[in-house]
Amino acid sequence: MMDPAFAEQAITLVILLLLAAVTVGIVRVRGLFAAVVLLGAYSFLMATLFVVLDAVDVAMTEASVGAGISTVLFLGALYLTDTKEATGKARELAPLAVAAITAAVLIWGMSDLPEFGSADQPIHAKGADYLARSLPDTGIPNVVTSVLASYRGFDTLGETTVVFTAGIGVLVLLRRRSGQGKS
């Protein structure tokens, strides 16, 4: 029988390889529709990876927003825009250089992190404090609600503001588009 830790690592590696393949496809594809479909597939693979990494809440958000709503909005934007696509231009090396430098900096920054899953990570030392202090500090019996509404209240307010602003922007664009046909 296969070791569960090895199986999890194998699944993670397969998902990461699929993510790399889809990323190359997104960069190489010339059609907008194909790019949107590949972006949806990328978000779905990321959601799957989050499930494997036991971050189910992040996985549900990625699946609903990334693979779901974003894909529908992109497809809607393609439907509402002109169907003729611009011809491809010669590829420049500057975007590739910026991406390579960014990747190198991120990899260098991760070199100082503790090993994945180790007990030395700060979350293991400080995370249990929230469970013990949640009710006395906030008066909210649900720990998740107390973290989102009290400890991370300004962060949650900012996220809500971003989502609200994006929704208003979409409504304004759709209204503007429907108003053009009435003239």
User: pLDDT, tens digit, for every residue of 29-46?
Assistant: 888 899 999 999 999 999
Do the domain assignments include residue 128? Answer: no
Higher pLDDT, 71 or 130: 71
Which residue range forms the structural domain that includes residue 45? Answer: 1-82
pLDDT at site 39: 93
Do the domain assignments include residue 37? Answer: yes
Higher pLDDT, 2 or 49: 49
Nearest Cα to Cα of residue 41 among 60, 27, 26 = 26
Residue 87 has pLDDT above 70, yes or no: no
pLDDT at site 101: 93
Band of residue 57 on the pLDDT scale cut at 50, 70, 90: confident
Do the domain assignments include residue 23? Answer: yes
pTM over 0.75, yes/no: no
Nearest Cα to Cα of residue 13 among 44, 43, 41, 53 = 53
d(CA 53, CA 30): 33
Do the domain assignments include residue 66? Answer: yes
Section 142-165 average pLDDT? 81
How many other CB atoms are found less than 10 A from the CB of residue 18?
16
pLDDT digits (tens, 9 = 90+) for 95-152: 778 889 999 998 998 888 777 777 777 767 766 677 788 888 888 888 888 877 787 7
Do the domain assignments include residue 71? Answer: yes
pLDDT at site 18: 95
Domains held by the chain: number: 1
Q: Which positions ≥6 away from 131 have C-beta within 8 Å?
A: 143
Q: 97-113 burial, b if ≥16 CB within 10 A, otherwise e?
A: eeeeeeeeeeeeeeeee
pLDDT at site 94: 80
CB 67 within 8 A of CB 34: no
Do the domain assignments include residue 6? Answer: yes
Residue 183 has pLDDT above 60, yes or no: no
Do the domain assignments include residue 15? Answer: yes
Do the domain assignments include residue 110? Answer: no
Residue 181 has pLDDT above 60, yes or no: no
pLDDT at site 22: 94
> What backbone phi and psi angles, to 5 degrees, belong to 159?
-65, -40
